[in-house]
Amino acid sequence: MTLKQFLVILSILVLGTVISGCAHVAAWERGHLAKPQMAIDPYPLQNHIQLHNYSSREAAASTHSADGGGGCGCY
């Protein structure tokens, strides 16, 4: 098998995989996808507060800020 044949077969397999992953969502099923629990961050305020508390106790910069925390370890 030559490199060209290998690349053709590989591209057909990848294309088939990508196309088979597409699906039509019926109208009555879209309501499930719109629920807050389906969001990437369903509770943004709660997660922000927990991240702030964690970064201030760890005395290290969190992933969402450039400054360091307090570092006293207090709650």
The answer to whether residue 63 sits within a structural domain is no
The answer to whether residue 37 sits within a structural domain is yes
Domain count, the chain: 1
The answer to whether residue 33 sits within a structural domain is yes
The answer to whether residue 64 sits within a structural domain is no
Question: What pLDDT, on the 0 to 100 scale, is given for residue 23?
Answer: 79
The answer to whether residue 32 sits within a structural domain is yes
3 state SS of 75: coil
Residues in the chain with pLDDT < 50?
69
The answer to whether residue 13 sits within a structural domain is yes
**pTM for this model (two decimals):** 0.36
Question: What pLDDT, on the 0 to 100 scale, is given for residue 59?
Answer: 64
Closest CA to 72 of 57, 50, 60, 62: 57
